[in-house]
Structure 1
C-alpha cells in the first residue's frame, strides 16, 4: 500500500510537470504578445505627441531597423503579426516586463528589512498550527468545526495579503503581502496534514484533492507575489509535520505528504524557472531523509519506505533541476549522488703532540702568507681557521692536551694580528681578525674550562672583547656593514662572558643586562640599522641562563591556564625571579622606548619581553592577597582576577588612546580580553565555580567587570573587531546583571522562569537602545548590532521562552510576536527607504 501510494504521488508529480510545462509555453507567448502591444502603444504615443518629432521613414529598399519608428497608421494587428514573425525565438523563461528591479542585498537590509518579517510570518503559521492542535486536545469544539476554523485562519491570512497588496500604507512594501500570503499557504498545508494524517478528520482522497487545490493556490499566489511567498510556503510545508509530530500517524502518510509537497514545489520551480526553489526543496527533502534515518533506527519496515522515498526524490530532483534552467552539471548530478549516499547509509673519533700542531700551524701560516700576496687564497685561510678551531675542540676533549693550549694561543696570534692589520683589504681579513681574536679563546673556554681560573678567563674575554670593539669602531658608519655588525656582536658576546666570570651563577642577569644597555648605546651612537637588533641577543641569552626561574613561571602559567584555583602556591621565589629575569627584562623594555631598537625582531623579542614582564608583575601582584586556601579563593578569587584583568585592559586602553608604545598596548589589551574570556567566562566562571561576586545589584564585581571591559572597547578608536567585542561584553554585562539580581553574591544555581524572562527583557532593551542610538546618531555598526541582537532574542523567544508556555498563552505569544515583528520590519524598512544620499552619508 505504501509503495502504491508513493507511486501515485510520483504520477501526480509527473502530471503536474507536464501540465505546468505547457502552461509555461503558453504564458511565454502571451508575455511576448503583451510586450509587443506595449511597445506599439508607446511608439504610437510618441508619434502623436507634438513635442516629439516623428522619425523619418526608412527607405523601402532597406530592411526595417529595430529602432526605426513605423508610421502610426499601420494597423496594430498587422504590426503585431509581422513583428512576431521576425522576432527570434523567445528564451525558455522570460521575466515579466514590469518586474521591479531588485536592489543590491546587504546585511542591514537582510536583518532589518527581511528577516524579522519572515520570522513574523513563520510565527503566524505556528500560531495557526498550535491553534488547531490546542483546540483538538482541549475538546473545545467538534473536529469538523475546529478544522474549519483552522482553515479559515489560513484563508484570513491570504485575504489579509490581498488587502495589504492594495492598501496604500503597505502597498509600498510588497513584502508584507508576500509574507502574509506565504503564511496563509503554509497554514493551510499544516492544517490539512494534521486534519487528515494526525486526527483523521477527512478521508485521504479528500485530503489529496485539497492538497492539490492548496498547491494550485500557492502557485497562483507565488506567480503574483514572487519568491517570498514560495519561500514561506516551503518553510511552512516542511515544518508542519515536525510541529504536529512526524510519526503520530505513521511514516507512510508523512512520506506521501512530503512527496506531494515536494512535487508541487518542483512544479512551481519549473513553471517560474526558479532553480533555487527546486534545489531548496531537494535539500529539505534529503534533510528529512537524514532525520528519518536517525529517528527510525531499527524499524526496518519504515526504513524501506524511506529508501523508496529517497529513490523517488533523487530521480525527481534530477529531472526537475534541468527543467528549471539550471546549467551547472554538478548541481544536476548532486541529487543522484546524494541519493546513492543515502541509500548506502541505509545498508551498514687523534692524538695531538707539539710536532703535530706545528704542522697545522705552519700550514695555516702558509695560507695566510699566500692570501697576503693574492686575495685568491683568502678563502683557504678562512677554511684553515675553521679547520684549526675544530681540531682544537677535538684535542681539548682528549685526556692528554698539554700542547693544545699553547697551540691555541699561537693560533690566536697567527690569525688575529694579520687580520686586524689587513682588515682594510676587505671583509675576509675582518673575518680572520674576529675569528682569530675570539675563536680559539671561546673553544678553549667551552671545551676545557678547568684550564684557567674564572678571573683569568674573564680577563682574557674582556681583552678579546676590547679587540673586537676596536675593530667595530674602525668600521663605524650609519649604513649597514657586515664587519661592523659582526664585530659589535662578538664584542658584546665576549664582554658578557667575561663579566659573568666575576659574578655568581645566580647573578648572570646582571652582566647580560649591562651588555643589553651597552649594545643599545652603541647602536644609537653608530646609527647603523643592523645594530639596533643586537640587544635582543643578550636578552635571549638571559632567558636561557634563567631557565630554572623561567621554568617556574611557565609552570605557574600552565597550572593557572589549566584552572588551578591556587596558582599562588606555584610561584617561584621572588628573589630568583627578579635577580635572573627582572634586570634583563627591564633593560630591554627600557631600550624599546626608542622605536628604532630591535629592528625587525622588535615584534617577536619585544613580545617575549613584554610577556616575561607581565608574568613578573603577575607573580608580584599575587602576593597581595596570597590566595593559598580554598576558602580565600571563594572570598577573593574572582575579585583578584577582576583587578588583574582590568589593570591590563586599562593600561592597554590608555596606551592606545595616547598613541604610546602601540605594541605593548596591543599585548596588554589582548591579554586582558583573553583573561576575561578564558578565566571568567569559560574556566572559572562564577556561575559554575563557587566564588563571591558581591551582594549589591549592578555594583558588584561581575557586572562592573563586564561593563568596564565593554567601556574600554567602546571608547577605543573605531575598529570593527573592538566594537564587536564591546557589543558582546555589553550583552554579557546585561545577562550578568540579571543573574546576580536573581541569585545574589553567589551565582551558582538553576535558571528560573523569572531569570529566563529577565534575560529576554534585558537583551531586548539593549537591542532597542542600540537601534535607537544607531538611527538617531547615524551609526551603522550600532544599527547592525541592534538588529542582530533583536534577531537572537527573537529566536530565543521561539526556542526557549515559548517552550515554557502552553495552550492559549503559547498561541497568543506567537500571534503577538508575529504581529510585532512584522510591524518592526515595516517601520525599519521605511527608515531604509530614506533618500540614498542620506543613508550613504551615515554609512
Structure 2
C-alpha cells in the first residue's frame, strides 16, 4: 500500500492541475471579451479610456487609449523559450497626438535591467531553488545520521515535500505572480519550485528502489516515467528549463533501474515515447533547445545499445520514429527551412541555406541517425540485416531532407552517410589498408556477401534518384537553389554507389546487372532533363539541368565500362560524348558541349591507364595499320569535328577546350604510331632512343606552327597560348634530352654507318632547321623573347650537329666520351667553329640580321677561348701553330669586315645629312 502512495498523489495532482487549467482558460477568455468591449467603448466615445488592471502586488495601473483607436496596439515579443506572448498596452498620460510615438518607443526597446534587479529578481530565485534542494538533502542526511525517522517515513516525507513544492509553484504562478513571466521568463519562482519538487520526487522514488528495495524494478520504472512525463507536462506552464529537467529524468530513468531481464524493446519504446512527448510539447511552445537535446540523447542511447546488443530492430525502429517525429510533429511543420527560396545559385546563397531553419534540430537529428547507422555496419561481415537497417535509416533521413521545403543538413549528411557506408561495407578501406600497411581484414569474409551488398546499395541509389526527382519536380521553380543541390546528389551519388559495387562485386568482362542499372539511371536522368525543359525550367534551373545531364552521361559511361572492354570502350566513350554534343542542334542546353569535354578527358584517362588500349599481348605489330590507329585516331577526329561544330556556339571556353583537346589527341595519335613503328610493334615503358625522341620534337614543333596558323585564321587563346606552350615543351626537350640524356656522346649509341644521313642528322640538324623555320615564321606573330628562344634552340642544335659530326669523322660510328680526343680532332673543332662563325657573319650581313651577327660573335668568342685554353695545352708542333695562325687570320678578317661596314655606314650617314646654308658669318 505504501508503494502506491506516490502514484496516487501524482494522479490527484494531475486532476487538480487539469481543473485549474480549465478555469484559467475560461477566465482568460472572459477577460479578453471584457477588454475588447472596453476598447470599443473608448473608441466610440472619442475620449481616452482608462482600463484598470489589478495587480496583486502593485494595486492598479491606468492604460490610456488614443482618440481614434479602433483596437489596442499590442506588440508581439518572443519569449526565450520561443513561445510568443503579448505585451501589455502602455499607460500614457499625455495628449492623443503624442501617444503613438511614445508607445512605439516603449515597445521597440525595453528599459535596461538594473544590477539590483538582476540580483534580486533572478539570482535570488536560482539560489533559492538550489537552497531548497540542498536543504532537503541535508534534512534527509540529518535524519539518517540521527536515526530519528525510518527509511519509509523519510521517503514518504520526501515525496510529500516534492508534491508540496510543485503545488506551491503552481499556486504562485496563478495567484501571486501572474505577470512576472513577461519580465523573468528564465528565473520564474514557480518554475524553480516545481523543478525542486521534481528532483525530490525523482530522488525519493530512486531511493525506494535502488537503496532500500521497497519497490520492484517495474513499479519504480513506471513511477519514474510518470514523474518525468508529469514534469514534461508541467513545463508547458513553467517553461523550457523545466522541460529539460523532465526530459533528463526520462532519459536517465533506464539507467537508474537495475533488472535481471532487461528488454531492449521496452527501453526504446519508452525512449521513443519520451522523445515524441518532448516534440509535442516543443511544437506547442515553439521550443528548439529541448527537442535537440532529446534527439541527441536518443542517438547516444542507440550507440550505447549497439555496443553489445544482438537485436538492432528496436534501435532502428526507434530512430525511424524519431525521423517521423521530426517530419510530422516538430519542426517538420515549420516553413523556414527555405529562407533563400528563389535566390540565385552562389556560394553566399548556399552558405545562408546551410544556416537556415532550426539548425540545432536538423544537425542533431542527422548525427543521431547517421552515427548509429554507420556503427550498424560493423556487426560482422556475414550478417545481412544490419546493412538493411543501415539502408532504411539513410533512406529515411534523405526522405526527411527532401520533404516539404527541404532541409540541407539531413540531405547532405544522408548522402555522405550512404557514400561512407558503401566505402566501408565493400572493403575499400580494407584494400587501402592492405596496400599501405601490408595487413588488413579477411577479404573472404568481406566479399562473401557480394550479391546482397550490391543489390542493397543499388536500391539505395535508386531511392536517392527518386527522392531527388520528386523534390526537383515540386520545388524547381520556388526553390532552385535547393533543387540544384538535389540535382547534384542525383548526378553524383547513384553513379558513385554503382561504381563502387561494380569495382568490388562486378564482372569486368560483361556485367549485365550494373550495365542495365546504369542504362536505366542515365535514361531516367535524361528524361528528367527533357521534362524540366518542357516545363520551362530554363534559365532559372540551368545549373541543375546541366548537373542532371552530367549524371546521365556518367551513368552511360559506367554502362559502357560494365558491358564492353578495351578499345571498344574507348571509342564508344568518345562517340557517346559526340552524341551529346550533336544534340545541341535540337536543345541549347549549356551542359551538352561540356559533356564532350568530359568524354575526351575520359579517353585520355584510359590512354594513360593503358596506352595499348587492348593490352600489350593483343596489340598488332603491323606499323600504322593496327589497333592504335582507330583507338587514338577516332577520338582525335571526333574532337576536331566537335570543335568545328561549335564554331558559332555562344560560349568560347568550351570551344577553346575542344580545340586544345583536338590538338593534343592528334599529336598523341601520331606520336604513338611513331613509337610503335620504331620499336618493332612493341609499346613498353623503355626509354625512347634519340631518333624516336627527335620525331617527337619535330611533332611538337610542327604542332606549334599549326596552332600559330590556326590562331591567324581563327583567333583563339587556346591556339595562341597552345602554340607557345608547344614551343616551350620542344625547347625543354632539346635541352634535357637531345643535348643531355639521349646524346650519343654520353650514351654511346650508334650514329649509323652512313657519313651524313645518320642519327646526327635526325637528332640535331633536322630539329635545328625546324626551330629556325619556326622562329622565322613567328618573328612578326609572337613576342620577341619567344622568337629569340626558338632561334637560339635552332642555333644550339646546329652547333651540336657540326661538333658531333666532326667527332664522328675522327672516331667512327660510335662517339662516346670515354674514347678520348686526338690532336687532329681537337684542331678540327677550331676550324669548324670558325667556319660557322664566319658563315653566320656573312648571312647576318646579307640579310641585315643582327641576331645572326651576335650568334657569330658568340661562336667566335667560344673558339678563341677554346684555342687559348685547350689547344695551347693539348696540341703540339705544327697543329698548335696552325691553330693560332688560323685564328689570327679569321679575327683580322672579321675586324676588317666590321671596319668596312662601319665606315660605309658613316659615309652614308654624312651623305644623307643636308648641307648647311651660309650664314654670312
TM-score bracket for this pair, using the shorter chain length: 0.3 to 0.5
Q: Which has the higher contact order (CA 8 A, sep 6+)?
A: 1
Structure whose CA Rg is larger: 2
Q: When the two structures are superposed, what TM-score results if normalisation uses the length of structure 2?
A: 0.42
Q: When the two structures are superposed, what TM-score results if normalisation uses the length of structure 1?
A: 0.45
Higher helix fraction (1 or 2): 1
